[in-house]
Amino acid sequence: MESRRAFLKSTVFGLAVTSLPTLAFAAPTQKEAPTWLLAPVQPGSDLGLGWTLLKMHPPLEGAVTLNLLHNDGRRARVDLALRDGAAKGPASTDYVDFIVMDGGDGKQPMAEDLGRVVRRLAKVVEQNEAQLPELLSQLEAHADRVWRHPASMEVASTQLQPGAPVAA
């Protein structure tokens, strides 16, 4: 699988490099959420164990963000980032790392039900990865996101919407 990942990354990189004069070094942006990635799951879908998909945001700051709601009122933000090496989140596919943005360092256990739902979502994404090359150019590994967007990553655990203004 590593060679497949390397091939897709190099293909996307090659397409981006050949388009540099027209892109003027700007990464392509998508104005709509890539709902095909979670098909047939869509906003409002019951994910099981009391969780519902509230919203899927378009790629921003290197990730696609999912907002989940539990029927007891708990909310969760899950960022789908580029997987680079070993998985960093509670679930992953060959290309996508599912990062629960809860303000932790990844060492503390998360709620069992949330972890199970995130792993279910990863299985859905895995089935839809054939269309992923176009989206890969808009994703970054989680460590790169923390380095490139420190202010927004620092408050991500308290903001369900990515890119929300950061208080001074």
The per-residue pLDDT for 2 is 55
List, run by run, the mean pLDDT of 10-residue segments along the chain (168 residues). Answer: 53 40 41 93 98 97 97 96 94 96 80 97 95 90 92 82 64
**Token pair recorded at residue 88:** 């960093």
pTM over 0.85: no
Q: Which run of H or E residues covers position 116? A: helix 112-128
**Token pair recorded at residue 136:** 């890969």
The per-residue pLDDT for 29 is 56
Domain ranges across the chain? 34-158
The per-residue pLDDT for 10 is 53
Question: How far apart are alpha carbons 87 and 92 in whole angstroms?
Answer: 6
Question: How far apart are alpha carbons 1 and 86 in whole angstroms?
Answer: 13
Cis amide bond preceding 43, omega within 30:
no
The per-residue pLDDT for 24 is 30
DSSP 63: B
The per-residue pLDDT for 5 is 52
The per-residue pLDDT for 23 is 32
